[in-house]
Amino acid sequence: QTYSGGTVTLYQDAATAADFGALSTFTDGTAILIGTITTLNRTLFTSTLGSVLGSVDWTGGTRLDDIAPWDQDGWAFLSGLTNRVDSVVPGFDEAWDGKIEPSEPIVAGESSSWGSVKALFNR
């Protein structure tokens, strides 16, 4: 199944008051990133297990400016899914467990030996 045009919002929330049975408890913080789901493909491998692969373009939120404009598009939306009754919260059809990440590193990595990393903490 293929979808497009949805939205995803990530909220900052210092508390852990979320209740999986009440969706409104997941929106009681500040919206730090808001994005448009440009593509989303949902695939079932068996009758109870599958995966989700999509793409998100960030368009708003209080932390949007922390991401360079050229890095705001094309983030990967990755998830596994199950519809097993013992894994899904009542009121939902499926349980998704995934992440959204940039397609390429935003901050370049650098090579270093383990010894030099440890030396940073011995100063």
Q: Residues 15-50: pLDDT tens digits?
A: 766 676 777 776 667 899 999 999 999 999 999 999
Give CA–CA dist 78/64, Å, rounded.
20
Cβ within 8 Å of residue 76, ≥6 positions away: 53, 54, 55, 56, 100, 101, 102, 103
Token pair in block for residue 14: 């210092």
- pLDDT tens digits, 82-99: 999 999 988 889 999 999
Give CA–CA dist 74/88, Å, rounded.
29
Instruction: Report how many domains make up the chain.
Output: 1
* Domain ranges, residue 84: 2-121
